[in-house]
C-alpha cells in the first residue's frame, strides 16, 4: 500500500491493519483485509473529501479489489495536519 500511495507525494502515512477484528466476515474469508489509513499530502489541497478518497482509491488501484476489502480513510493537507 505504501508503495502505491507514494504516487500522492505524502508527507505522512499511517496504516493500521484491523483485519483480525473482522475475522469471519465475508470479505475476510475471501482474503481481503480491513485497514485504516491516515495520509497527509499537498495533493489534497482544494479537494473535497470525496475527491481525496478517489485519489487514494485510484492510487491503490487493483489492491482495492483484491488485498483490501475495507478501507477507512482520513486524508488531510499539510495545513490541516
pLDDT digits (tens, 9 = 90+) for 7-46: 999 999 999 998 877 566 555 556 678 899 999 999 999 9
Judge whether residue 59 has pLDDT over 80: yes
* DSSP strand pairing (68-76 vs 33-40): parallel
- Asked whether the CA dihedral 81, 33, 25, 19 is positive or negative, the reply is negative
**For the structural domain made of 2-76, what CATH number should be given?**
3.30.300.90
pLDDT above 70 covers a percentage of the chain that reads 86
Q: What residue spans define the domains of the chain?
A: 2-76
Q: What are phi and psi of 63, to 5 degrees?
A: -60, -30
Rounded to 5°, angle at Cα 2 from 38 and 61:
95
What was the pLDDT predicted at 28? 53
pLDDT digits (tens, 9 = 90+) for 71-81: 999 999 999 96
Distance CA 23, CA 21 (A): 6
Amino acid at each position: 500500500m505504501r508503495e502505491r500511495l507514494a504516487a500522492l507525494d505524502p508527507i505522512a502515512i499511517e496504516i493500521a491493519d484491523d483485519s483480525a477484528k473482522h475475522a469471519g466476515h465475508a470479505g475476510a474469508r475471501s482474503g481481503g483485509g480491513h485497514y485504516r489509513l491516515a495520509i497527509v499530502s499537498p495533493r489534497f489541497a482544494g479537494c473535497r473529501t470525496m475527491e481525496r478518497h478517489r485519489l487514494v482509491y485510484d492510487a491503490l488501484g487493483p489492491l482495492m479489489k483484491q488485498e483490501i476489502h475495507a478501507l477507512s480513510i482520513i486524508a488531510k493537507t499539510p495545513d490541516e495536519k
